Amino acid sequence: MSDDAAADRVAAAFADGPAFVPYLAVGDPDYESSLAYVEALAEGGADVIELGLPFSEPIAEGPTIQNAVVRALEAGMTPTRFFEFVEEVDVDVPLVCMTYYNLIYQFGSEPGPRPFVEKAAEVGLSGFVVPDLPAEEAGPLRAACDEFGLHLISIVAPTTDEARLEKLVGVSSGYLYVQARLGVTGASSSVSDQTGESLARLSGVALPKAVGFGISSGEQAATIVEAGADGIIVGSALVDIVADGHERGASTESVAERLETKARELKQGAVDGYGRRTPTPEGTSD
C-alpha cells in the first residue's frame, strides 16, 4: 500500500518529528461549527486529524466524548453527512475516521465494510480507527482497506501481550494507536506509568507509535514524546473546549481560536519532548 497516495500522506505525517493527532467528534455541536473547529486544529499544527463519526453506543469512550456524540447525533450527524463533511472541510492534512464497526458494516447497499471503505476512499479519507474491532474480527475491513488503499489503525492496550501484538500488527497499517492507560477515553492530569512500558514493548514494531488516552497539556505531550512516542493523540481535552464553548454560548470563532491555541501548545509540547530525547547520531530516536 505504500505506493498509494492516502498511505503516503500518513507516512509523511510521521516522517519529520513527532506527529500531533487531534480528535473531534464531527457535528459537535453542529455541522458548521465543527467545520471551523477541525480547520482550527489544522491551523494549530495537526499532522493527522481523527474525525469521530458518532455512534449511539460508544463503549470505549468516557463521559466527555459520550456527551459530544450525543450532541452531534442530536444535531443530525449521519454517515452520509460525515462524508459530506470530509469533502467540505478545508484542511491539508490526512484525515482518519474513528467510529464503531456497526456504522461501517451497515453503510451502502450490501452488508459488510466494502461500501463504506469505497466511499471513504472517494472522499479522501486516509484510514480508520475502530475501537470495537479487535484483530480477530478485522479481516473483512482489512481486505476492503487493502482494495482501496486505506489504513486500518489498531489500538494497542496495556493488556496486549506479545502474541496478541503480533496478530494486531499483522492487520495494522499507518500507525499504531497506543492506549496510554486502561479504561476509556478522557483527559487526565498525569501521564500513566503504563505509557513508558507500552512504548518499550513496541520498540521492535516498525509502524509509528502514537500515544493517546489522557493527554491534555503540552507538558504531558513532551513527556510522552520524550519517552519514545512518534506522535500524540488528543481527544477529550479538545472536546472539553467545544463543550465549554457550547455551554457558555460562545461564538464559533472564539471556540475555534481556543482550539487553535490548545493545538499549538500540544504540538509544541511534542516538539519539545522530541528535542529532550537523548540525541542519536542522526538526531532521531530510531
Residues of this chain that bind another protein (CB under 8 A): 55-63, 66, 70, 73, 78-80, 100-103, 105-107, 111, 131-137, 154-161, 164, 168, 179, 182-184
Which residues share a beta bridge with 77?
A: none
* List 39, 61, 260, 265, catalytic entry: 61
CB nearer another protein, residue 155 or residue 222: 155
The distance of Cα 23 from the centroid of its chain, to the nearest Å, equals: 5
Residue from 39, 43, 50, 260 carrying the catalytic annotation: 50
61 in catalytic set: yes
Kindly tell me which of 36 and 60 has the beta carbon lying closer to another protein: 60
Whether residue 205 contacts residue 82, with contact meaning beta carbons closer than 8 Å, is answered with: no
Residue 3 CB, nearest approach to another protein (Å): 29
Q: How far is the CB of 45 from another protein (least distance, A)?
A: 28
Please report how close the Cβ of residue 265 comes to another protein at its closest, in angstroms.
Answer: 27
- Please, which residue, 34 or 66, has the CB nearer to another protein? 66
Cα-Cα-Cα-Cα dihedral sign, residues 206, 207, 209, 213: negative
**CA angle at 21 for the pair 191 and 81, rounded to the nearest 5°:** 130
Q: 514494531: which residue's cell?
A: 205
Nearer to another protein, 118 or 272 (CB): 118
Q: What is the DSSP string of 82-136?
A: HHHHHHH----S-EEEE--HHHHHH-SSSSSSHHHHHHHHHHT--EEE-TT--GG
CB of 241 to another protein, least distance (A): 21
Give me the least distance between CB of 90 and another protein, in Å please: 26
- How far apart CA 38 and CA 145 sit, in angstroms, is 24
Determine if the peptide bond prior to 29 is cis (ω within 30°): yes
Our answer to whether residue 39 is catalytic in this structure is: no
What span, in angstroms and rounded, lies between the C-alpha atoms of 53 and 130?
Answer: 10
What the block records as the C-alpha cell of 19 is 506527529
**Cell matching residue 221:** 505531550
The smaller minimum CB distance to another protein, of residues 121 and 184, is found at 184
C-alpha cell at 176: 499504531
- Residues designated as active site: 50, 61
